[in-house]
Structure 1
Amino acid sequence: MKEILTHIQGVPIQRNFVENLPFNPHLIVLLKEKRKARILSEVIFWKKVRAGTFHHIDFDRQRIIGNYIVDFYVKTLGLIVEIDGSSHDEKQVYDGIRQEYLESLGLLVFRISDFDIKNNLYVAMKELEYFIIENFGITPSSKIP
């Protein structure tokens, strides 16, 4: 049985740690630049989740996985949170290939729009809660009899 990480809306959330993720050390310089960029929607989201403030879940900001840098990563869930701004408008094919690769590692990707972070933060955070419950929650119907 998997270990319980936290509870969201009364639903136990089980850990889903994905081990041995690939890491490209050549991206470290770019990673540092991205962290310094301080994109507004990422800063707003970070303030909502940093230091375990979102249901005691630990988020990493700007994490290298393989040849990609993801916006946020929850190690204990194997969950990536991507904030899609206008830079993603012309990158649907690239984003699709990237997401397929990340999912092939056993990770899940949750996408939030930049607009929603800036204008509907409460709703965006509720959607993240529901995504976590749906994918990592232990509900009566998910228990093995």
Structure 2
Amino acid sequence: MHNNHYNSKLKTFARDHRNDSTKAEIRIWCELLRNKKMLGYSFLRQRPIANYIADFFSKDLKLVIEVDGLSHEREGQFEKDKARELNLNALGFHVLRFNDDEVMNDIENVNRTIQHLIAEWEKDHQRPC
């Protein structure tokens, strides 16, 4: 692992996740994050970080974006998600969560939320060249 907490042991698992993306994950990727569409920032899909696989990750922003599907409604999943978020926060990452319904039915609000977070981040950091 290097300073971005990349976990090479999860590489194959992450690749499988990319090949089995949900409709909501595909939509946010294609419409908002792919090819530096999000205000020029680069995002990666299904990136192994520490002991987790982030749905989307921007190294420059230290931002993890999670898209929660039906599996996140299972008993005990809220607590697991919260623990995961706290662990990522402790490593210096900010986590944004959206559910499938938000992505599929209100992509504009998802877009505004991400852009707002980036604007706040840029106030505190100089943008890399």
TM-score (norm 2): 0.86
One-letter amino acid of the structure 1 residue matched with residue 17 of structure 2: K
Letter in 2 for 1:119: N
Counterpart of 2:122 in structure 1 is 137
Aligned match of 1:104? 90
Q: Answer whether contact 2:4 2:59 (CA < 8 A) is retained.
A: no
Point out where structure 1 has 5 or more consecutive residues left out of the alignment: 1-18, 140-145
Residue 119 of structure 1 corresponds to 105
Q: Which has the larger radius of gyration?
A: 1
Kindly report the root-mean-square deviation, in angstroms, between the aligned alpha carbons of the 2 structures: 1.5
CA distance in 1, matches of 2:38, 2:117: 14
The alignment covers a number of residue pairs equal to: 120
Whether 1:34 and 2:17 are equivalent positions in the alignment is: yes
Percent identity for Structure 1 against Structure 2? 30
Partners of 1:68 and 1:117 in 2: CA distance: 22
Partner deviation per Cα, 1:58-115 (whole Å, 9 max, x = no partner): 1111100011000000110100011111111120111111111100011100111110
Report the alpha carbon displacement of residue 121 of structure 1 after superposing the two structures with TM. 0.6
- Which structure has the highest strand share of the two? 1
* Deviation of the 1:43 alpha carbon: 0.5
Give the distance between the partners of 2:122 and 2:12, measured in 1 at CA: 37
Moved over 4 A (4+): none
Shift in Å, 1:127: 1.3
What letter corresponds to residue 42 of structure 1 in structure 2?
E
- In structure 2, stretches of 5+ residues that fail to align are 125-129
Query: Which residue does the alignment assign to 2:3?
Result: 20
Post-superposition shift, 1:131?
2.0
> What amino acid is the match of 1:94?
K
Contact 2:38 2:115 in 1 (8 A): no
Equivalent in the alignment of 2:127: none
Q: Which amino acid in 2 is paired with 1:55?
A: L
Displacement of 1:53 in angstroms is 1.4
The correspondence for 1:95, drawn from 81, 84, 91, is 81
Q: Which residue of 1 aligns with 2:40?
A: 56
Q: Distance in 1 between matches of 2:61 and 2:7?
A: 21
